[in-house]
Amino acid sequence: VVTPVPPSLDRRAAVAALLEDRGDLLVVTGLGSPSYDVHAAGDSDANYYLWGAMGSAALVGLGLAQARPDHMVLVITGDGEQLMGLGGLATIGVARPGNLAIAVIDNERFGETGMQESHTGYGVDLANVALACGFVAARTIHDMGGVKQARVELHEKASGPRLFVLKTTAENLPRSLPPRDAVHLKNRFRMHLGLPVN
């Protein structure tokens, strides 16, 4: 299966739209450009930016969603990062967290390493993988209307996890760098939730 429509969304505009009026949304970002996109949309103590641990973002989101059923959790990651954690979609599908949504910013490229084509560029369909794993909703989005609809849905609890694939153009944008000190990010996130810092 080849993607019928060439990716056309602007990633920064799409991520900003996902995070509009975010309220008490908790956000985990996958390494590379998704971390820069979320930072560019506005830094927040409720953001946990990953700078490594490729393949972990959705699962950090799962652990967080299970610990905080009182909050909605949004994971914003890239196609390459999610592909490395493909098995995690099965784990999340089984766990069925109704307060977890995953947005894959899919430019069909490994953007940090020279824009090599990823599996999604060769036709792998992450939304269908998620559906097959038991996600209650998953779809591929090609326009800003679809992004805005996803933004509404990710603030509503569901009967299980959701995944949105946002097809974005492949371009190297100016980097917007969040802090790299993971202990700082961890502590400020916990303080945001009123938790003690050890």
The count of C-alpha atoms lying within 13 angstroms of the C-alpha of 64, restricted to the half-sphere facing its C-beta, is 26
Comparison of 17 and 75: residue with beta carbon closer to another protein: 75
| Site for another protein, residues 4 to 43, rule: CB under 8 A | 26, 28
DSSP per residue, 30-93: -TTHHHHHHHHT---TTEEE-SS-TT-HHHHHHHHHHH-TTS-EEEEEEHHHHHHTHHHHHHHH
Tell me: does residue 182 bind another protein (CB under 8 A): yes
**Strand ranges, E, within 112-184:** 116-117, 137-141, 162-167
Q: Which two tokens stand for residue 62?
A: 């799962």
Tokens linked to 63: 């652990």
- Supply the minimum distance, in Å, between the C-beta of residue 62 and another protein: 6
Q: Which of 33, 35, 56, 82 binds another protein (CB under 8 A)?
A: 56
Q: For residue 177, state whether it binds another protein (rule: CB under 8 A).
A: no
| 195 phi/psi in degrees, rounded to 5 | -90, 150
Of 29 and 168, nearer to another protein (C-beta) is 29
**148 contacts 110 by C-beta, under 8 angstroms:** no
Binding status of residue 179 toward another protein by CB under 8 A: no
**Binding residue (CB under 8 A) for another protein from 65, 126, 130, 141:** 65
Q: Which residue, 85 or 146, has its beta carbon nearer to another protein?
A: 85
Residue window 112-131: x/- pattern of binding to another protein, with contact defined by CB under 8 A: --------------------
Q: Which residue among 7, 85, 146, 178 contacts another protein (CB under 8 A)?
A: 85
Q: What amino acid is encoded at 8 in this protein? A: S
* Residue 11 to residue 61: CA distance in whole angstroms: 21
Residues binding another protein (CB under 8 A): 26, 28, 48, 50, 52-57, 59-68, 71, 85, 87-88, 90-91, 94-95, 182-183, 185-186, 189-190, 193, 195, 198
